Structure 1
């Protein structure tokens, strides 16, 4: 397996301990690689034989799939993290407040409509 220096244009991405790491250096004599974890920024030195090269194309495809999955999940939640039910409830309460302020509803009727006490 050939490794690239992380400061170069194409750092080598490897899998170690079921996680993704970037190779930051290689000590060929000691057969050790210096790794930096892409999520935690942890640094460690391990035996070359304990890491597995990651196909960059597969890594990109996996990232695209994860982004697509997050986009689908986010589409289920609307404005500022509220669910559709929460938004409908807020709109209903807003209508009640507007009607109360325009004197079409009494405070007691508004409270009753919202299942609240008027005390």
Structure 2
């Protein structure tokens, strides 16, 4: 496995001890590679044979999918700062207000429908 790409513009990403690391240096004579852990930023020197190359394309696709899933989750939880339940409640109350203003509900009926008190 060649780590010489790590010294160029695009760092080589590898897996070591179930962690993702970036190759920061290579000592070909000693067969050692200098790694920086992506999560902890810790640096260590390990034997080249103990690391496994990571497919950059698969890594990028995974990150993009994870970001997209987070965006979808956030949009389900909050729409302009409100939960779906709050939005439905506001729409329901708006309908009651419109019916009251158009004369279809009395104020007392609107108050009862919204679970409010007169005071």
Kept in 2, the 8 Å contact 1:26–1:34? The answer is no
Kindly state the Cα deviation for residue 15 of structure 1 after the two structures are TM-superposed: 1.3
How many correspondences in the alignment? 113
Name the residue aligned to 1:19: 19
Kindly state the Cα deviation for residue 54 of structure 1 after the two structures are TM-superposed: 0.4
Name the residue aligned to 1:92: 92
Pairwise CA RMSD = 3.3
Kept in 2, the 8 Å contact 1:24–1:36? The answer is no
1:110 aligns with 2:107: no
Please give the residue correspondences for 1:10-89 in structure 2 after superposition, counting only pairs within 5 Å: 10-28=10-28, 29=30, 31-37=32-38, 40=39, 42-48=41-47, 49-70=49-70, 73=73, 76=76, 79-80=79-80, 82=82, 84-89=84-89
- C-alpha distance after superposition, 1:58-93 (max 9, x if no partner): 223333443454465456557236554442221112
Structure 1 stretches of at least 4 aligned residues deviating more than 6 Å after TM superposition = none
Superposition TM-score, scaled by structure 2 size = 0.63
- Partners in 1 of 2:17 and 2:80 — Cα distance? 37
Segments of structure 2 that go 5 or more residues without pairing to the other structure are none
Superposition TM-score, scaled by structure 1 size = 0.63
Distance change (3 Å), C-alpha of 1:86 and 1:33: same
- Partners in 2 of 1:36 and 1:115 — Cα distance? 56
